[in-house]
Structure 1
Amino acid sequence: VIISPELQRKIKSLNKEHRNLILKAFRKIKKMGLNAVTILRAHDNYLLCEIKYKKPPYRLYVTVDQKEKIFILCGWEHKEKQERMKNTLSKNIKEGVYEILRQNLFST
C-alpha cells in the first residue's frame, strides 16, 4: 500500500480525525486487500476504487495495479460540501434571475 505524494501533502493539512480515518482505511486495505474497497472503474490492469465513510460523508480513492498487487491511496474528498455548494449556487442563481425579472417587469 502506497500513499501518493499529492495525498501526503493533503494529509498534513487535515485534522486528526481525518488522518485517523485514512489510517484506518490504510490498515483495512493491508489486511483485506481488494475486499476492503468498492470498485468504481476498471481499465486494463488498473482499478479505481473507493472506501466510503457515511458519517461524516468522506471518500478515500484508491488506484489498484492488479498485475503488481499495489494499492495507491490517491484522493480524499468530502462529499457533503460539494453537494451543499451546488445546491447553494443553484438557489442563488434562481433567486438572482427571479429578482432581475421582477425588477424588469414591474419597473416599467
Structure 2
Amino acid sequence: MAARIAVRYGSRRFSSGGKILSEEEKAAENVFIKKMEKDKMEKLSHKGEVSGGEKHPEVKPTPPPTSKVSTDKNRNYGVLAGTIAILSGIGWYYASRPKKTEQVQED
C-alpha cells in the first residue's frame, strides 16, 4: 500500500515535465486509480468462477495464513543464506585458531 502511494506521488511529481497537478486533476486521477483498482479486484475475485456463477472445481480459494511462517520465497532464501554465512564464519573462526599444545618442561 505504501509503495502504491509512493508511486502515485512520484508519477505526479515527475510526469508532464514537472507540472504540478491542480486539485481537480488530482481528484480526477484519484477517482480513476480507485476505479482501476476496483476493476482489478473484481477480475481477480471472478477469476475462479465459471459462467453462471458456479465455482470452478479445480480452483480452490487459499485460506489466509494463520501461522507466522513466511511464504515469500525470496525472503526465505535470504534468511537461509544469511544463516549459512553466519555459521560458516563461526566455523572458519574456530578452525583458524592456532591449536594449543602442551609442552613438557624439563629441569
Short-chain TM bin: 0.3 to 0.5
Q: Give the structure-2-normalised TM-score.
A: 0.40
Bigger share in strand: 1
Which has the larger Rg? 2
